[in-house]
Amino acid sequence: MTDSVVMVLYAPQISMFSRTCSTIAEEAGISWRLEATGTGTQEAAQHHPFLRTPAATIEGHHFYETVAITSFIDSQYNQRRLQPAAPEAGARCLQWINVASNYVFPILEERLVLPRIVAPLMGRAPDEEMIKQALPNIAYHLQVVEARLNEVPFLAGPEVSLADIFMYCNIDAALMTAEGREMISHLPAMQAWFDIIAARPACRATKWPTPEEMGA
């Protein structure tokens, strides 16, 4: 890790997008630290004009939005190893980043991970009816990813890309829940892909504590 390069990441301590940024920092070998910042707060407003997270300062450059942060890190410090040069693979990488961010993340985060894991941490009972109603939609989203991984080893094609890290962080969060584990147990291509990505040192370095360790 290059100690002279430091990213300050402004984000919640447990956040899929902040984990994506920190994992790409680990992939690139740059040092980083998290400055815990809540979404929608005055602290967030200092770093993101729409009060969202994450945002980051990297050697004097300030960015907000995960795709900007991660693409800069990979381009500046990782020789663009996670951004395919071939036109189709590059487009597939962007396509699946957007699928992970705009389709998979909202349904998993809002309808499964938050009510199942986060609500108990905050002393609230899980909304079982909301989870139950969301499960068929969640299963559909996961099956779309499974279909892609039946075609190619990684989301952009033959090599690991940013898209795989974006999606991995979503799937790893889903696996914290019994419902997520059950659905993913029936998706062999996703399981094989997940095991490869999870074994990367960068993903191991940013692993979240288990729900039990968090007190859920």
76-102 average pLDDT score:
98
Q: Choose between 14 and 76: higher pLDDT.
A: 76
158-173 average pLDDT score:
98
> What is the C-alpha separation between 126 and 122, in angstroms, rounded?
10
Can you give the pTM of this predicted structure?
0.95
Same domain, 47 and 128: no
| Dihedral, 202, 53, 208, 103 alpha carbons, nearest 10 | -90
Same domain, 105 and 138: yes
CB–CB of 176/121 below 8 Å? no
Residue 206 covered by a domain: no
Residue 82 covered by a domain: no
> What is the C-alpha separation between 22 and 165, in angstroms, rounded?
10
Same domain, 154 and 181: yes
- Identify the burial level of 70 via C-beta atoms within 10 angstroms of its C-beta, where 0-12 means exposed, 13-18 middle and 19 or more buried: buried
Domain of residue 64 covers 2-77
Mean pLDDT score of the chain, rounded to an integer? 95
Cis peptide before 153 (omega within 30 of 0): no
Residue 114 covered by a domain: yes
